[in-house]
Amino acid sequence: MGNDPITALLGHRPGKVIAVHLNYASRAAQRGRTPAHPSYFLKTASSVTGPGTVARPEGTELLGFEGEIALVVGTAARDVPPDRAWAHVGWVTAADDLGLHDLRYADRGGNVRSKGGDGFTPLGPDLIPAERLDPERIGIRTWLDGALVQDDGGPGLIFPFGLLVADLSRLMTLEPGDVVLTGTPAGASVARPGQRVEVEAFSLDDPALTSGRLATDVTAGPALAPWGHPPRVDDAQRADAWGRVPEPVPTPEVRERLAAVAVATLSVQLRRRGLDEVSIDGVRPLVPGRRLVGLARTLRFVPYRKDLFAERGGGFNAQKRAFDTVGPGEVLVMEARGDASAGTLGDILALRAEVRGAAGVITDGAVRDAAAVASTGLPVFCAGHHPAVLGRRHVPWETDTVIACGGAAVRPGDVVVADDDGAVVIPPGLVGEVLEAAEAQEREEEFIAGMVRRGESVNGLYPLNTRWRQRYEAQVPDEEQAPDEAPDQAQDLEAD
């Protein structure tokens, strides 16, 4: 028998453990897709355990944790409608949907081995009677070594709990003791041996209604037997396991090249590819001359409303979570609706981002403690300065979702480049193409500038006509030449 609360209550392990693939808006934003309907996978009954330890086999790298709200079926449910489904839930508790990403490739989405290992579904420590909970007001929090990494709940769900139970019951009988794992929000990541993961499910209205903290200590275990699929990971799998957006990540060399190209040049190349609304308008560097290049993380503020601020404005809110989790090379981009009449960050949060290695911060709102923020050395681009705290105008609402900043749509994982002219957003898949074209354009413009310094007229030189292009091509190696300009592109150059 396991040491989980369901086994203790019923005298046997759950008959079925059913897990939802994707069910939080924050997680969907990371994945870059939102499902129209829930999808599921099964976990083994032998994976169920309670608080304790879990072993990461020697030779593996990516033991992922996912804090989740677990529903425990109280009475049998078969073909029940969503509006009556909650009555069949007996209890709610915390779950950690552990998985070995090193074996995900082996089952092509089925997760049989990657998530079915012994001890890979800790539950508990306590059961909350479902009748005492509002199913739309249940929260989930996860800590890694004491640092809060997940904080979400019912308001962030894509598919409500009643729909999940009803959907599953269309084809199968959910029996007492069966468990439904309801999905994980953004913040799921990887735990190494020596680390502790803690998960808590609780009422958002009454914190006393709680599962308690489900603690799991990761230990180093023996290697897997040599038969069957061996562990295997690549950079894409690492990015996915660690919770980063699975998009192409610019290498240090690409970041360095992006930092050497003017944002104005990148803007021209983006426009030529039909992306004419990717500038973050109205923001300027807090300290002129500072540049930034990085991958976007996002934070959205909504307009101040007393009840909304009471709900989400206090404690470890979305703003603080964003600054506390922004990673090396990432740019925190904030949507403040262009309202610069209250601060969206101050010196303490800027210092936190700088210590964590962030590439910078962009907000279409204001900065408070401007001189202190500037002194941290963190590149910050903003719409202005203001002494007021954010609660004067803003409610920190959500992180890691698509936002609108300065009129530009920004998606987590987009590449952001900024200098004294402003900031632009580059879709990850276009970075290489745009960068190469921008570098070629700047080489051509260096040639043009040299001719102007020598006294040449810009007529026919800017942009290059046939005669001048022949002179340029004779002086510059083929691989460094800019492509011939189309007529509309030439007009763009002439107007710059």
Residue 315 within a domain: yes
Distances in whole angstroms, Cα of residue 139 to Cα of each of 24, 53, 94, 96, 262 = 12, 24, 10, 14, 45
Same domain for 332 and 202?
no
Other beta carbons less than 10 A from residue 15's beta carbon: 15
What whole-number percentage of the chain has pLDDT above 90?
A: 73
Domain final residue pick, 403, 426, 449 = 426
Same domain for 183 and 280?
no
Same domain for 19 and 112?
yes
State the CATH number of the domain containing residue 337: 3.50.30.40
Residue 49 within a domain: yes
How does pLDDT run across 250-308, given as a tens digit for each residue? 778 899 999 999 999 999 999 999 999 999 999 999 999 999 999 999 999 999 999 99
Going by pLDDT thresholds of 50, 70 and 90, the confidence category of residue 2 is low
Using alpha carbons, select from 180, 172, 188, 138 the residue that is nearest to residue 19: 180
Residue 174 within a domain: yes
Residue 84 within a domain: yes
How does pLDDT run across 128-145, given as a tens digit for each residue? 999 999 999 999 999 999
Which residue type does 201 have? Answer: A
Same domain for 154 and 49?
yes
Higher-scoring residue by pLDDT: 482, 31: 31
State yes or no: pLDDT of 115 exceeds 60.
yes
Most confident range, picked from 5-19, 107-121, 361-375: 361-375
Q: pTM of whole model > 0.85? A: no
Using alpha carbons, select from 96, 65, 91 the residue that is nearest to residue 5: 91
Say what the pLDDT of residue 244 is: 60
Same domain for 161 and 288?
no
Q: What is the DSSP string of 283-313?
A: -EESSTT--EEEEEEEEEEEE--HHHHHHHT
Domain final residue pick, 195, 222, 241 = 241
How does pLDDT run across 148-162, given as a tens digit for each residue? 999 999 989 999 999
Lowest mean pLDDT, pick from 118-122, 245-249, 355-359: 245-249
- Domain of 73? 5-241
Q: CA 75 from chain center: how many Å?
A: 37
Say what the pLDDT of residue 241 is: 86
Same domain for 385 and 289?
yes
The first and second tokens of residue 210, run together, are 């709680």
- Mean pLDDT (the chain, rounded): 90
Other beta carbons less than 10 A from residue 275's beta carbon: 18
How does pLDDT run across 350-409, given as a tens digit for each residue? 999 999 999 999 999 999 999 999 999 999 999 999 999 999 999 999 888 889 999 999
Same domain for 206 and 59?
yes
The first and second tokens of residue 484, run together, are 């011939």
Q: Can you tell me the mean pLDDT for 15-26?
A: 95
Residue 263 within a domain: no
Same domain for 85 and 31?
yes
Higher-scoring residue by pLDDT: 462, 479: 462
State the CATH number of the domain containing residue 12: 3.90.850.10
Domain final residue pick, 363, 393, 426 = 426
Using alpha carbons, select from 320, 278, 317, 272 the residue that is nearest to residue 296: 278
**Which residues, 6 or more positions from 353, have their beta carbon under 8 angstroms from its beta carbon?**
323, 326, 332, 361, 378
Distance CA 211, CA 380 (A): 41
Say what the pLDDT of residue 482 is: 47
Distance CA 126, CA 424 (A): 49
Residue 151 within a domain: yes
Same domain for 51 and 184?
yes
CB of 299 closer than 8 Å to CB of 332? yes
Same domain for 311 and 422?
yes
Same domain for 205 and 323?
no
Higher-scoring residue by pLDDT: 478, 36: 36
Distance CA 329, CA 458 (A): 40
Residue 219 within a domain: yes
Q: How many domains does the chain have?
A: 2
Q: To 5 degrees, how large is the angle CA 374–CA 376–CA 382?
A: 40
Residue 465 within a domain: no
Same domain for 66 and 142?
yes
Instruction: Kindly provide the residue ranges of all beta strands, DSSP E only, lying in 48-183, ordered along the sequence.
Output: 48-49, 52-57, 63-65, 67-73, 89-96, 99-100, 121-129, 138-144, 147-153, 179-181
